[in-house]
Structure 1
Amino acid sequence: MRPARYSDEDLEQHSLRRRVADDGQRSGFEHDVDRILYSTQWRALAGKSQVVASGELGAYHTRLTHSMKVAQLGRRMAERLERRYGGPNPALVEAACMAHDIGHPPFGHAGETALRATMDALRAVGGELDSFEGNAQTLHILTFLAAHKYPGHRGLHLTRACLDAATKYPWERAPRDVDPARHTKWGVYAVDRQAFAWVRAGRGDDAVPVEEQVMDWADDVTYACHDVEDFYRTGLIPLAALFPPPGAGGGDTERETRRFLDYVGAKRLRAGAAFDRDEAVRLLADIAKALSVPGPYAGRHADDVAVNARTAKLIDHFTRDIDLEVGGPAAIRHGARLVVPAERRAACDLLKELVWCYVIDRPALATQQHGKRRVVSELLRWTHESPGLLPTDRAEELELHGDPLRAAADHVASLTEDQAVTLHRRLSGTGLGSVSDTGWL
């Protein structure tokens, strides 16, 4: 049985409280895609890290190029599923994928942890729990910070279904002693409770719609495939040693595999997670079928062709066998579950560990991360201590909700990395800039 179509409630626009109609040129969900695309927050992702700093030399992915590829892959998976099951809607999945990282601050996860730690320290004085989380910032941007074309209304006026699909962790932060996992990851700020209640339309559970599930898998696959591609090109991830052609492995492969699996095993032990080394070896062998690499990247045209071919094969490997379980005639949003073979998910998780082992945990990047966290933390403290430093839009926001720390965090989180470094130099006195500078300065 094919699931029911999307309801009028799904197509209702936030804050406008009206259903967005298909005008013959764009459907309601295509409106969502376009509004995200034209937002200033979407453009700012070009200046924010995926793994390394956005200004780093080389053709690394930024948050923008990563999000574009997540959106492309999510839409293609949705198109395949729609042909078989009548949903999910491809434009809706594309919009959720485009929005999924829009809440990321400068310097990626380093910036996120710095904002959270600093907010936690400043909030502790009053015993408040609310802090910074990139996923919660996404909802905050889409429903409050961003601007569209209707005066008197805040946010992008996205459909209920789009906002629901873009909310990865549909709950507020919990105290650490109550739920450690929900203390670390959450998707709703206290200031956005009313908007979130509207998005959920009375639902009291924590289930995410199928569009979010497709978005989440597209995000994982894109991260695993394209980030590994980036750092193979720059010589940081030794794919040729880990995944040599059949019969070409030797001592280097054994040593590199042992080193990598030792790293993963120790990391999961610290996290209290199980690690089956024999199963990991089998997963690496499964990945090698799509990722056979004869040698290091040398920059030749043939090397680029080979990299692109391997990446395409790997993405196909992770997305070919996806399916839906549809529970009865309910609307597809909350009546279906994305099914990905367990070994595919485990292999994707293992592939993502390559980036952590060979790039993120490198001493050179660790020193960079220290500097990034300091820049973000000091900007937040200085702006919180002196609200007069806020730009006009954040000062207006402060008048609306009266939370100076939230307004300061929204300001810092909105900056690109170049803007953050420039503003830090200006406020610290190491690079004063010009009195004619305007806007975010």
Structure 2
Amino acid sequence: MDRILYSTQWRALAGKSQVVASAELGAYHTRLTHSMKVAQLGRRMAERLERRYGGPNPALVEAACKAHDIGHPPFGHAGETALRATMDELHFAAGVLDSFEGNAQTLHILTFLAAHKYPGHRGLHLTRACLDAATKYPWERAPLDVDRARHAKWGVYAVDRQAFAWVRAGRGDDAVPVEEQVMDWADDVTYACHDVEDFYRTGLIPLAALFPPAGAAGGDTERETWRFLDYVEAKRRGAGADFDRDEAAYLLADIAKALSIAGPYSGRHEDDVAVNARTAKLIDHFTRDIELEVVGTAAIRYGARLVVAAERRAACELLKELVWCYVIDRPALATQQHGKRRIVSELLRWTHDAPQLLPADRAEELDLHGDPLRAAADHVASLTEDQAIALHRRLSGTSLGSVSDNVWL
């Protein structure tokens, strides 16, 4: 765990988006603060489970939680989408399937890109159990016509096939250890609770209209609820998924028992106290009833399955949709996302076309694996958002900076 904490890739998460840009004014979560809270929640859940079932190991879960987002590029999912689309386009003529995926980049960093204190060894020299727990999608990318889901999400690059085989120690299935399951649930709950809290504070998510105190519901609440459900239904139907509107309305009513918000956030001390109390209550709502189904000799790794009530998972997904409905799909953010994708895509193209632009460490890695597009993607993905903007201005001629600026060396 300490090796993750002291890595340069961990520090860079402070300059990478959780939802809005890391330089945005306001106390928004970054990938770093998000990962810290995932780690805290994951450890607490693991401690409770360990007392009851003898596992999983809390330190192992905490390490996996800290590592889980270390592969994210600048600008979050917008940057990830841009890297993947550009790599797919550049790979198309060669018929190469591999591309960019934040979860696969995590394994790539932990086993190849990051540096520890041992000479001659690449990566952080983590244990099999730690790497396995941090791997969300334990497979390589599949062709679109074979498996659409595994074409969109995967956790292993072809270049890391040998390292992944060592992690799995001969295991050929797609099962994930219980430590990964706890990490994944901690990630979902943290995203749903703390990101919604962020945008309630800034007035973007109208929680007071959606979750008023008991007896205070009226026409405004009903209109806002139906507007939100219209959004979710259209999104789910557009993706070819089923949507039970009555069940969703029931789940919102259940969440209201934990939230119960009297009005918009005003910035007063009592509002901060109330927000913190509601967030704590909501996290408890999602985590208090978790259990393990122990299927092996011990409740660690492949010996157990995390059991979370289906309605809790569905309610968590609904809360995450609040961020999409009221923040991510807003025109103001959509225009920013367009600019972010352009910055990342152009940086990748320029660096791929001119490998001499690579910094020394990426150039060394290119000599090892011989893939200029992977080296360029690793370089762009490693940048903080401020670095990406400054480098884009420099390479585009918009703002040349100084010849004595050695940040790119």
Task: Pick the aligned partner of 2:293 from 306, 325, 329.
Answer: 325
SS in 1 for 2:258: coil
How does 1:50-89 map onto structure 2 within 5 Å? Answer: 50-89=18-57
What percent of counterpart residues are identical? 90
Write the distance in 2 (CA, Å) between the matches of 1:89 and 1:344.
Answer: 24
Q: What residue number does 1:224 align with?
A: 192
Question: Would the aligned equivalents of 2:54 and 2:299 in 1 still touch at CA under 8 Å?
Answer: no
> Unmatched 5+ residue regions in structure 1?
1-32
Q: What residue number does 1:255 align with?
A: 223
Write the distance in 1 (CA, Å) between the matches of 2:319 and 2:137.
Answer: 24
Asked whether 1:40 is paired with 2:16, we answer: no
Asked whether 1:267 is paired with 2:235, we answer: yes
- Partner amino acid, structure 1, of 2:233: G
Q: What residue number does 1:106 align with?
A: 74
How does 1:6-405 map onto structure 2 within 5 Å? Answer: 33-330=1-298, 332-405=300-373
- Partner amino acid, structure 2, of 1:179: D
Question: Would the aligned equivalents of 1:129 and 1:173 in 2 still touch at CA under 8 Å?
Answer: yes
Write the distance in 1 (CA, Å) between the matches of 2:255 and 2:166.
Answer: 43
Write the distance in 2 (CA, Å) between the matches of 1:270 and 1:145.
Answer: 38
Cα–Cα, structure 1 residues 427 and 265, in superposed 2: closer, same or farther, change >3 Å? same
Cα–Cα, structure 1 residues 195 and 252, in superposed 2: closer, same or farther, change >3 Å? same
Deviation digits for residues 340-372 of structure 1 (CA, Å, limit 9, x no counterpart): 011100100001000000000000000000000
Runs of 4+ in 1 over 6 A off after TM superposition: none
Post-superposition shift, 1:66? Answer: 0.1
> Unmatched 5+ residue regions in structure 2?
none
Question: Would the aligned equivalents of 1:111 and 1:372 in 2 still touch at CA under 8 Å?
Answer: yes
Question: Would the aligned equivalents of 1:391 and 1:439 in 2 still touch at CA under 8 Å?
Answer: no
Post-superposition shift, 1:332? Answer: 2.1
Question: Would the aligned equivalents of 2:54 and 2:298 in 1 still touch at CA under 8 Å?
Answer: no
How many aligned residue pairs are there? 409
Post-superposition shift, 1:175? Answer: 0.3
Cα–Cα, structure 1 residues 331 and 255, in superposed 2: closer, same or farther, change >3 Å? closer
Write the distance in 2 (CA, Å) between the matches of 1:210 and 1:422.
Answer: 41
Post-superposition shift, 1:437? Answer: 1.0
SS in 2 for 1:434: coil
Write the distance in 1 (CA, Å) between the matches of 2:365 and 2:407.
Answer: 15
Write the distance in 2 (CA, Å) between the matches of 1:331 and 1:243.
Answer: 38
Asked whether 1:438 is paired with 2:406, we answer: yes
Post-superposition shift, 1:440? Answer: 2.5
Post-superposition shift, 1:80? Answer: 0.3
Write the distance in 1 (CA, Å) between the matches of 2:226 and 2:242.
Answer: 18
Post-superposition shift, 1:327? Answer: 1.0
Post-superposition shift, 1:438? Answer: 1.1
SS in 2 for 1:274: coil
